[in-house]
Amino acid sequence: MKFTEMPYERVDMEKACARIKELTEQFKAATSGEEQFEIHKKYYELMNEVNTMSTIAYIRQNVDTTDEFYNKEKDFYDEQTPIFYNLVVEYERAMYESPFRDYLVSVIGPVAFKNMELSLKANDEKLIPLQQEENALTSEYDNLIASAKIEWEGDTLNLSLLRPYLESPDREIRAKAWAKNNAFFEENAEKLDELYDKLVKNRTKQAQMLGYENYVELGYYRMGRNCYGQAEVENFRNQIKKYFVPFATKLHERRRQRLGLEKLSCIDGGVYFPQGNPTPIGTPEEIMANGQKMYSELSAETKEFFDFMMEGELFDVLGRKTKKAGGYMTYLPLYHAPFIFANFNGTSGDVDVITHECGHAFQGYLSGQDPIQEHADITMETAEIHSMSMEFFAEKWMELFFGDRADDYRSMHLEDAVAFIPYGCMVDEFQHIVYANPEMTPDERNAAWAKLEKEYRPHVDYTGYKRFEEGGFWQKQLHIYDMPFYYIDYCIAQTCAMEYKVMMDEDYKKAWESYLTLCKLSASDFFTNMIPQVGLVSPFEDGCIKDMVDKLEKRLV
């Protein structure tokens, strides 16, 4: 079924809540593990219905943030889903405490039960009003960012549509675009500070109501960190500071020379070649058609997946003025269908949608065929390996998208991946500082960000762009508002994706088979078990980052 043809009906939350309560009581009354698992299949049916309808509503609201009907539907789910999911936690508690748990573990797997443990630690009925407020605050931030109206040569652009000018080969155009970008965040600084202040205090209060000192521990539980913790993440970040930052700085210096500049400014951060970055050739429709050709040649599995996506019109990728910023993959369980949302804007990022988001969607398509639905509950660092590695596997086909500048794209892509890791670690450390010190003022938060910039990105110079110069650049990063502690997952995953890059350069077939195995493992095992199982080295392991830098330096410097 095509996405536009999928019927939508608001979930009757009273009935859904009554149903989950009924299933919980039936589950508790069951006299065997086998009987409990049959009830659990009915739980799958209920969750599929609720998740599909709410996801359709969210997608359609994101597609047009001015749509009055779907704005009301999104507001409804923002308010009602915390109530429903609190009852889901009680169902999971019954599973976790089942006298037949050994049987259930043998069917569903140990990861699901560890995730239940984390969920029980992260949720409580008394948090519902705060969670509703949190949802409303993140929606307010999203809508504020989406509402940007930037006057540009007789046209009005949002932040997504401004991006091509931020990366223009003409430095004067870049400077003008950055000034417009900075002006939006300067004009809205007070509101952005207010929203984040409310979010930090809200999340801190949730944590304290559950007995935690601050939100950091609760944030880790909510991110599903089921096999590593703060110590491992801090060790990873420290390795990045020690080995990756100097390496990335060398690449920025090489880029400065390539661009013929005396000094790099923030306006040069996204530009890799004096003639400008490689941009896709062809229309959006041709990009999609070339994506279909690429995936048909990559493997039988990817051909089946992409054909399914195209036939179901499971993409919304054209940039529009009233569309939510950003991009993502989500999943519609009733239809076993991934869905990709993005904003094409004429930059290489359009092709990244066809590689990165399709990496997520391909794995979602595979895991959707697993009858044990808990196996689809992958943690985010694993999910991002699927997407970031697919970017590298797809590089063989870049002539389709960039013509004679395919090699430029490949060089840019690898350099950009290296440059990203310090930034992502900076975002993570910033959040650890903020949530460990929830009473920080907006100025103190900006000062903390500015200090981290010097540690992780010493080459960046914001001179002339007041809001960013005073440390406000972090407010552009929606994850900081919407998904606390998510961002480090990108860095962990990027490290693993680079391992795949090294592996595929030596033996492409072996690397692809390893990747396919990882996708199919999904969440049937823990991240720290799966990584060595498929022949990769854990990013938490001492020496992993240094070895990675040594191998990359031979390629790039």
Who contacts 329 (Cβ-Cβ below 8 Å, separation ≥6)? 338, 339, 340, 341, 357, 358, 360, 361, 364, 387
Same domain, 48 and 193: no
Whether residue 382 lies inside any domain: the answer is yes
Looking at beta carbons, which pairs linking 370-376 to residues 24 or more positions away fall under 8 Å?
Answer: 370/522, 372/107, 372/108, 372/109, 372/524, 373/44, 373/47, 373/333, 374/108, 374/109, 374/111, 374/112, 374/115, 374/523, 375/109, 375/112, 375/522, 375/523, 375/524, 376/331, 376/522, 376/523
Same domain, 269 and 348: no
Whether residue 551 lies inside any domain: the answer is no
Instruction: For the beta carbon of residue 431, count every other beta carbon within 10 angstroms.
Output: 23
| b/e per residue 8-21 (b: at least 16 CB within 10 A) | eeebebeebbebbe
Looking at beta carbons, which pairs linking 103-110 to residues 24 or more positions away fall under 8 Å?
Answer: 103/32, 103/33, 103/34, 103/36, 103/37, 104/33, 104/36, 104/37, 104/40, 107/33, 107/37, 107/372, 108/40, 108/372, 108/374, 109/372, 109/374, 109/375, 109/523, 109/524, 109/525
**Domain limit, last residue, from 137, 164, 188:** 137
Whether residue 105 lies inside any domain: the answer is yes
Which residue, 60, 61, 54, is CA-closest to 77?
Answer: 54
Whether residue 357 lies inside any domain: the answer is yes
Whether residue 371 lies inside any domain: the answer is yes
Who contacts 339 (Cβ-Cβ below 8 Å, separation ≥6)? 3, 55, 59, 314, 315, 316, 329, 330, 331, 332, 361
CB 376 within 8 A of CB 109: no
Same domain, 309 and 456: no
Same domain, 393 and 290: yes
Same domain, 33 and 125: yes
Whether residue 209 lies inside any domain: the answer is yes
**Domain limit, last residue, from 482, 515, 539:** 482
Instruction: For the beta carbon of residue 130, count every other beta carbon within 10 angstroms.
Output: 16
Same domain, 451 and 397: no
**Domain limit, last residue, from 137, 157, 191:** 137
Same domain, 22 and 169: no
Same domain, 83 and 133: yes
H/E/C letters for each residue in 420-445? HHHHHHHHHHHHHHHHHCCCCCHHHH
Q: The whole model's pTM is what?
A: 0.87
Q: For residue 223, what is the domain's CATH number?
A: 1.10.1370.10
β-strand partners of 341: 316, 328
Which residue, 179, 177, 160, is CA-closest to 469?
Answer: 179
Which residue, 278, 307, 312, is CA-closest to 291?
Answer: 307
Same domain, 312 and 349: yes
Same domain, 362 and 450: no
Residue 453 DSSP symbol = H
Whether residue 341 lies inside any domain: the answer is yes
Whether residue 478 lies inside any domain: the answer is yes
Range of the domain at 421: 142-276+417-482
Domain count, the chain: 3
pLDDT tens across the length of the chain (557 residues): 899 999 999 999 999 999 999 999 999 999 999 999 999 999 999 999 999 999 999 999 999 999 999 999 999 999 999 899 999 999 999 999 999 999 999 999 999 999 999 998 998 989 999 999 999 999 999 999 989 999 999 999 989 889 889 989 999 999 999 999 999 999 999 999 999 999 999 999 999 999 999 999 999 999 999 999 999 999 999 999 999 999 999 999 999 999 999 999 999 998 999 998 899 999 999 999 999 999 999 999 999 999 999 999 999 998 888 898 888 999 999 999 999 999 998 889 899 999 999 999 999 999 998 999 999 888 989 999 999 999 999 999 999 999 999 999 999 999 999 999 999 999 999 999 999 999 999 999 999 999 999 999 999 999 999 999 999 999 999 999 999 999 999 999 999 999 999 899 889 999 999 999 999 999 999 999 999 999 999 999 999 999 989 988 887 65
Angle between helix axes 230-239 and 488-506 (nearest 10 degrees) is: 60
| CA dist., res. 376 & res. 161, Å (int) | 33
Same domain, 165 and 242: yes
| CA dist., res. 21 & res. 8, Å (int) | 24
Same domain, 395 and 509: yes
